[in-house]
């Protein structure tokens, strides 16, 4: 039963990869994790773009809660900020509330398989284009988080487990459908995939690595425009009642790497009753 419950925790960690840093270990502390009713996490992501202010980037507020033995609820609220003071922008500043995500993960009893489904509600404004771009650069594969007048549906199937050496791993793949709500444009189909692993470096320190990709089906443009890939690595420290962490992201596409040097992430997670 303990192994199955540990795998149940792993399935939540695929949304997104960096949530690996926010959730309790599946080995030591699993019994304690089962007593937690929910968990609150925050990501603050700062893209490396020239001449932008320190607090440019995006923040994602996450909430997860178990809904019985097989289902886990996941809610995420994105926020993006742009601030640049040059001769062109003249101290330009924008703040954008992105499209909230609501989804759930269904785990199979006594099986490493899991299934995920969710949607993004189209509330982001189209009047803050620079903040929208900054939020997109913060996580290239989190499509639809800041797009205006766009409804997003996504689903995925995945597999997770724990190796004998203590490495926890998860992988998932599935479609994403972007549907315009303003009457302009066509619906777009994407294929997303991600693999992640984490390893405890002691009783409290946790390391994590991951790769994620997103491919636009039938884009008809260059491969650099239709395919997005990024790598992520991070560390987190478990203080019992709170878990701080730090991460770095690198775009693996040449076209995207020319625009963004990398992304620095700060993370915080705490249990809720």
Where do the structural domains in the chain lie, given as residue ranges?
2-272
Q: What mean pLDDT do residues 168-190 have?
A: 87
How confident is residue 85, by pLDDT bands cut at 50, 70 and 90?
Answer: low
Residue 10 pLDDT exceeds 70: no
pLDDT of residue 136: 87
Token pair 């998860």 is found at 170
More confident call, 182 vs 124: 124
Q: What mean pLDDT do residues 227-238 have?
A: 89
Residue 92 pLDDT exceeds 50: yes
pLDDT of residue 8: 43
CA-CA distance, 215 to 196, in Å (whole number)? 18
CA-CA distance, 70 to 85, in Å (whole number)? 50
pLDDT of residue 93: 81
CA-CA distance, 24 to 200, in Å (whole number)? 11
CA-CA distance, 199 to 195, in Å (whole number)? 14
pLDDT of residue 4: 40
Question: Token digits for 58?
Answer: 């995006």
pLDDT of residue 183: 66
How confident is residue 226, by pLDDT bands cut at 50, 70 and 90?
Answer: confident
Question: Token digits for 149?
Answer: 């007048």
Q: What percent of the chain has pLDDT over 70?
A: 78
CA-CA distance, 69 to 269, in Å (whole number)? 22
**Closest by CA position to 41, among listed 26, 24, 28:** 24
- CA distance readout (Å), 236 to 19, 24, 209: 11, 10, 12
* SS3 (DSSP) at 255: helix
The DSSP code sequence of 3-16 is HHHHHHHHHHTTSS
pLDDT of residue 45: 92
**8 A C-beta contact, residue 5 and residue 31:** no
pLDDT of residue 21: 53
Q: Domain 2-272 carries which CATH code?
A: 2.40.160.40
How confident is residue 259, by pLDDT bands cut at 50, 70 and 90?
Answer: confident
- Please state the separation of Cα 176 from the chain's center in Å: 14
Question: Token digits for 49?
Answer: 């773009």
Query: pTM value?
Result: 0.83
Write out pLDDT tens, residues 118-162: 999 999 998 888 889 888 888 878 878 998 888 999 999 999 888
**8 A C-beta contact, residue 250 and residue 26:** no
Q: What mean pLDDT do residues 172-184 have?
A: 87
pLDDT of residue 54: 61
**8 A C-beta contact, residue 7 and residue 13:** no
Backbone CA torsion sign across 82, 59, 16, 122: negative
Residue 269 pLDDT exceeds 80: yes
Residues 6 or more apart from 174 whose CB is under 8 A from it? Answer: 116, 154, 155, 156, 157, 191, 192
């Amino acid at each position: 039963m303990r192994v199955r419950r540990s795998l149940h925790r792993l399935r939540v960690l695929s949304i997104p990869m960096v949530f690996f840093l926010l959730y309790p270990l599946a080995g030591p502390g699993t019994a304690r994790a089962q007593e937690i009713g929910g968990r609150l996490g925050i990501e603050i992501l700062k893209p490396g773009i020239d001449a932008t202010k320190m607090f440019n980037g995006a923040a994602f507020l996450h909430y997860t809660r178990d809904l019985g033995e097989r289902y886990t609820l996941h809610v995420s609220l994105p926020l993006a900020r742009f601030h640049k003071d040059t001769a062109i922008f003249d101290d330009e500043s924008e703040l954008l509330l992105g499209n909230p995500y609501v989804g759930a993960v269904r785990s199979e009893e006594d099986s490493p398989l899991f299934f995920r489904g969710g949607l993004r509600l189209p509330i982001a404004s189209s009047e803050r284009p620079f903040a929208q771009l900054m939020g997109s650069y913060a996580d290239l594969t989190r499509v639809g988080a800041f797009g205006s007048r766009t409804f997003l549906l996504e689903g995925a199937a995945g597999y997770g487990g724990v190796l004998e050496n203590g490495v926890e791993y998860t992988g998932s793949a599935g479609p994403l459908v972007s549907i315009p709500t303003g009457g302009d444009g066509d619906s777009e189909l994407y294929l997303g995939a991600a693999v992640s692993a984490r390893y405890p470096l002691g009783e409290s320190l946790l390391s994590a690595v991951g790769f994620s990709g997103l491919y636009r089906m039938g884009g008809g443009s260059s491969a650099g425009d239709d395919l997005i890939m990024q790598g992520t690595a991070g560390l987190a420290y478990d203080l019992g009642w709170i878990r701080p962490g730090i991460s770095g992201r690198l775009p693996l596409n040449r076209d995207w790497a020319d625009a963004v040097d990398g992304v620095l992430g700060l993370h915080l997670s705490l249990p809720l009753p």
